[in-house]
Structure 1
Amino acid sequence: MKRFKEKTVIITGADSDIGRATATRFAREGANCILVGINHDLLEYIYKELPQDHTWINTGNHLTITSDVNDPTQIVRLIEHVLEKYEHIDVMVNIDTAVGIHQSVIPYLIKTKGNIVNVSTLTAIAADWNINTYKAEQNSLTDTTKAMALKNAPNGVRINAVAAGLVTTDTSSNPFLTHSPLGKTATPVDITAAIMFLASDDAAMITGVNLPVNGGVSASS
């Protein structure tokens, strides 16, 4: 079943391992994917991997946009470009990007009763990293997500988040791993599974949630 057939999905931070996995999964489930990032060559590489539905009236389902979503002017051009091609926006996935783009996209999500999934990742362990700092950052993400969700719920727009923890395919030991009750770190595919659930109609009654995908680190003392 293609849960996102004919849905338009903007993915910021698409030029990342999680972005690549997320775009691939959305495309396989029928979505039109807009890949947004700052690495043009990488975005084009990911674009060429995505399944397409070529027909006589459709020359391609997906789109790449090289853009800095921290720049309000570039955000305006990005949205104009998306609407010109697809006419509507149904889902926005923000991977390690600022939330400033939200206010520009929400008016269009109101029209489609769409949703936003913010993704916070720990892609590396700094020398001064500690578990208390990590948990404090996730608490801040939870508070921000709740506030945005409550503000936009009356308009039918759901807003959730995924706290991805350390995301890696490296199986060697690291400071984060020692805090994981499951004894492992998440992979990009693990994070994508959570994103897909929160963005889908399966989560129609879920908003304001920060879903930890970190091997149980958030549950540990």
Structure 2
Amino acid sequence: MTQFSTNRVQDQQPGLEDEMSPPPDYMPRFPGSGRLEGKVAIITGGDSGIGRATAVLFAREGARVAIIYLNEDDDAETTLEAVRSEGSQGIALRGDVGEKAFCRECVARVVKEWGRLDILVNNAAEQHSQDAFEDVSEEQIEATFRTNVFGQMFMVQEALPHLGEGAAIVATTSITAYRGQDLLIDYASTKGAVLSLTRALAQKLAGSGVRVNGVAPGPIWTPLIPASFPPDKVESFGESSPLGRPGQPNEVAPSILFLSCEDSSYMTGHVLHPDGGAPIGD
């Protein structure tokens, strides 16, 4: 069984991948097959965790990739190096997706750089563990909703004028949207909102040929975990899942790839569940 270091609990959101022990697995497992050849993708929260794994997998499949990140410069540079090592192009954009003006700047930069936009992966998020719900501050609630919900809305609004028929939007929601999480009530609430946003947008955009789907990961070993939980929770993270272990980012990224490419051309408004076997409904 993997041993997670309890002396690497972090005190900042969304956390640093280069300080995690053991490091998450983010490299793709299989050769690329050109499923995103010529495409341009934006991935929010693309510096680490699920976002990094997705960025590298997209690059292997032929996409040019722009990653958006908050302030984790070293993680972002590592991701860019991995993207470029796949023979693709990548850019990193630093800032807060909770600010609409920044989202506008990011989309404009990508379109100026590469002349198109085909895929938006809304993955950036923050979470804050709190034992007593009455202790969840107004500031924490606002910050969590601004990043997790407003950020996704802002990015979609800015991306839509550039997304044509065949484009894809993929949102990261969470198992907590379906099952709740008593230490992450505000976070779970935002992920429920993302689930509803995904379904509503799918209906709204179906006529334009833009597909909207989501993934709802279970316990995945990403920087959010040591940045959110106390040492005892980090040490036993994921052990309660049916598979008895946490998932790795490269076990989620293939679901995002599937929903972003033509393999899923007859799917919209759906959510995939890389969650280790949790018994939940869609």
TM over 0.5: yes
Report the residue type matching 1:51 in the other structure: R
What's the CA shift string for 1:58-112, capped at 9, x where partnerless? xx72111112111111112111111111111000111134312111111211x25
Structure 1 gaps of 5+ residues are 55-59
Deviation above 4 Å: which 4+ runs of structure 1? 132-140, 169-172
What is the aligned partner in structure 2 of residue 146 from structure 1? 199
> Which has the larger displacement, 77-86 or 45-54?
45-54
Deviation readout 1:160-186 (Å, 9 max, x if unpaired): 110112102899634x542x3333322
Q: Which has the higher strand share?
A: 1
Secondary structure of the residue aligned to 2:68 is: strand
Residues 35 and 133 of structure 1: is their aligned pair in 2 closer, same or farther, counting only changes over 3 Å? closer
Q: Does 1:50 align with 2:50?
A: no
User: 1:139: how far off?
Assistant: 5.0
Shift of 1:117: 0.6
- Count of residue pairs the alignment pairs up: 208
1:17 maps to 2:45: no
Tell me how far 1:133 sits from its aligned partner: 9.2
Q: Which residue of 1 aligns with 2:100?
A: 72
82-91 or 181-190, which deviates more: 181-190
Q: Distance in 2 between matches of 1:217 and 1:63?
A: 36
Equivalent residue, structure 1, for 2:117: 89
Q: Is 2:236 the counterpart of 1:173? A: yes
Superposed counterparts of 1:118-133, under 5 Å: 118-121=171-174, 128-129=182-183
Distance 1:69-1:141 versus aligned 2 partners, 3 A rule: closer
Q: Normalising by the residue count of structure 1, what TM-score does the alignment of the two structures yield? A: 0.82
Paired AA for residue 75 in structure 2: L
In structure 2, stretches of 5+ residues that fail to align are: 1-32, 126-147, 226-233
* CA–CA distance in structure 2, aligned partners of residues 107 and 166 of structure 1: 35
Query: Contact 2:48/2:79 (CA < 8 Å) preserved in 1?
Result: no
CA distance 1:62–1:136, shift in 2 (3 Å): closer
Alignment pair present for 1:209 and 2:270: yes
In 2: Cα distance, 1:135 partner to 1:210 partner: 16
- Identity over aligned residues, as a percent? 31
Structure 2 length-normalised TM:
0.65
Q: Which amino acid aligns with 2:155?
A: I
Pairwise CA distance, 1:31? 0.5
Please state if 1:161 is matched with 2:214: yes
Mapped to 2, the partners of 1:73 and 1:143 lie a distance apart of 24
| 1:2 equivalent in alignment to 2:39 | no
Deviations 1:6-37 (A, max 9, x none): 10010100122211111111111110000111
- Is the Cα contact below 8 Å between 2:56 and 2:86 reproduced in 1? no
What is the aligned partner in structure 1 of residue 65 from structure 2? 33
Contact 2:242 2:278 in 1 (8 A): yes
Task: Calculate the aligned-residue CA RMSD, in Å.
Answer: 2.9
What SS is found at the alignment partner of 1:51? helix
SS at match of 1:164: coil
